[in-house]
């Protein structure tokens, strides 16, 4: 009988890292690893890292620092670091933190069982940051007796070929490679069999899926996914505006399972900065794409990413970003202060913006975003919305009521009350109608009307 060992994965960063962390558990299960409930229970701790922003990198090293005392108390504990920081820093990590046993890169997920086995057998530190430019690790068989989350991520491609001047992704995740559509469809079908009702298709630029390999286009992949029985909803992230085709826009008019939300990062409202960022589109092109999307799908929700304080950003550039935000009327924004990242060309750009200026601009942008998000959400007041239930709310409901949580098709988080007498466990994963009674900038609140 195989000895049971306990795995704890600490995940930092993007949705793709969440997917990769799930993969760690899948590929290590045949070796006897099962999830640890707490950090202290673990035999193997993996820190899955992000280096897109300096703050995320600092968070990873801070967490690794906490593990030093655990390693001293329990020398048998295995400490591993994976993801983008591992790819970026390689052997430098163990020089800085000698209690780290294993460093593995972004393309090493499929090799992880062998990496762990090599360390267990030899006790010698393993560093594997080899980056295969083409091969994507084959997915392991699914454990069909293990339920899947109602909403889950599926990576359809890895890497990026765009080389935006501020971005480290092409250097730590490699060049763009797409999985076969057959492999993707099989994975989603297996997830649906285990209880998944919504998938989010992931890639650094899903719009260019399949182009290099000459396989089906991203719109055609969406059409195949739309045909999967018992799948309720489809989302995707992230889209690059330069590759948002008319065919992809048409899928919003054609496919009933495709949610009426798109995350379309713009980064800046200034054409001068967009060119300096190497984004390969203009403000006018971006606005035109949004107008076409909103023509194809009524009540289309749009969210985006913004960078403030990019090198050379003037007050005029920043004002153009604020004006673009007002013009589009975003449903939500992820906004960040620019920070230098290794290998990215912008590291060497002159005219760096002072930290206090970046801070003030970010605060001003987020204040505008909050007011616009509140205005967009206020439009939901009194409406009855179909919600996919994906869990219990973190909030405590009123006396005699239980709060659940889910999302609208437009990706609005909704917390709602359901009378105890009206529900059973079957509500999880179901589409329910909820009357919206309160609107906040980043969530809605309501009451269950009926289960569909």
CB of 32 within 8 A of CB of 68? no
**Residue 137: Cβ-neighbour burial (10 angstroms; 0-12, 13-18, 19+):** middle
User: In residues, how long is the chain?
Assistant: 452
10 Å Cβ neighbour count for 59?
18
**Could you identify the residue written with the tokens 């919003």?**
252
Q: How many Å apart are CA 75 and CA 69, to the nearest integer?
A: 10
pLDDT at 294: 97
- Strand boundaries in 84-125, DSSP class E: 102-104
End-to-end CA gap in the chain: 46
pLDDT at 452: 83
pLDDT at 423: 56
pLDDT at 148: 84
Q: How many Å apart are CA 433 and CA 422, to the nearest integer?
A: 13
CB of 106 within 8 A of CB of 84? yes
Angle between helices 181-193 and 218-226 (to 10 degrees): 30
Domains of the chain with bracketed CATH: 5-128 (3.40.50.12160), 384-451 (2.40.50)
Q: How many Å apart are CA 312 and CA 298, to the nearest integer?
A: 38
Q: Which two tokens stand for residue 81?
A: 């670091």
**Per-run averaged pLDDT (10 residues), the chain, 452 residues:** 88 92 91 94 97 91 96 96 95 95 93 94 94 56 68 94 95 92 93 94 96 94 98 96 97 97 98 98 98 96 98 98 97 96 95 98 97 96 96 65 88 88 72 96 93 86
Q: How many CA atoms lie within 13 A of 17 on its CB side?
A: 24
Q: How many Å apart are CA 378 and CA 325, to the nearest integer?
A: 18
**Could you identify the residue written with the tokens 């060119």?**
275
Q: Where are the alpha helices (DSSP H) in 174-314?
A: 181-193, 218-226, 246-254, 271-276, 283-296
Sign of CA dihedral 204, 207, 212, 214: positive
């Amino acid at each position: 009988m195989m000895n049971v060992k306990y795995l704890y994965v600490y995940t930092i960063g993007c949705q793709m890292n969440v997917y990769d962390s799930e993969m760690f558990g899948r590929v290590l299960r045949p070796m006897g690893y099962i999830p640890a409930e707490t950090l202290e229970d673990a035999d193997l701790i993996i820190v899955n890292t992000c280096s897109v922003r300096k703050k995320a990198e600092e968070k990873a090293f801070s967490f690794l620092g906490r593990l030093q005392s655990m390693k001293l108390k329990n020398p048998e504990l295995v400490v591993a670091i994976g993801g983008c920081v591992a790819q970026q820093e390689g052997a430098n990590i163990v020089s800085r933190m000698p209690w780290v046993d294993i460093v593995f890169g972004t393309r090493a997920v499929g090799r992880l069982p062998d990496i762990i086995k090599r360390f267990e057998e030899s006790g010698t530190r393993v560093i594997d940051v080899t980056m295969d430019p083409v091969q994507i690790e084959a997915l392991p068989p699914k454990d069909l007796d293990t339920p899947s989350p109602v909403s889950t991520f599926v990576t359809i491609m890895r890497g990026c070929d765009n080389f935006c001047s501020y971005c480290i992704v092409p250097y730590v995740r490699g060049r763009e490679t797409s999985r076969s559509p057959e492999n993707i469809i099989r994975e989603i079908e297996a997830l649906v069999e285990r209880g998944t009702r919504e998938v989010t298709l992931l890639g650094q630029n899903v719009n260019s899926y399949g182009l290099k390999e000459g396989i089906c286009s991203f719109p055609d992949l969406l059409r195949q996914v739309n045909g999967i029985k018992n799948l309720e909803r489809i989302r995707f992230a992230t889209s690059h505006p330069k590759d948002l085709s008319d065919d992809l826009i048409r899928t919003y008019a054609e496919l009933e399972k495709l949610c009426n939300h798109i995350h379309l990062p713009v980064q800046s409202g200034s054409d001068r900065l967009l060119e300096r960022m190497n984004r390969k589109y203009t403000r006018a092109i971006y606005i035109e794409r949004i107008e076409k999307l909103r023509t194809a799908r009524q009540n289309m929700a749009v969210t985006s990413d913004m960078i403030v304080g990019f090198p050379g950003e003037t007050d005029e550039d920043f004002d153009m970003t604020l004006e673009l935000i007002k013009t589009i009327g975003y449903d939500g924004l992820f906004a960040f202060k620019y920070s230098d990242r290794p290998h990215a060309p912008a590291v060497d750009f002159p005219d760096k913006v002072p930290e206090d200026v970046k801070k003030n601009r970010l605060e001003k942008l987020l204040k505008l975003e909050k007011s616009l998000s509140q205005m967009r959400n206020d439009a939901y007041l009194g409406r009855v919305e179909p919600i996919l239930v994906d869990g219990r709310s973190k909030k405590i409901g009123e006396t005699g009521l239980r709060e659940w949580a889910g999302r609208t098709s437009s990706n609005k988080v909704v917390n709602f009350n359901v009378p105890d007498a009206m529900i059973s466990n079957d509500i999880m994963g179901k589409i329910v109608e909820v009357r919206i009674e309160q609107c906040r900038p980043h969530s809605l609140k309501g009451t269950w009307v009926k289960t569909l």
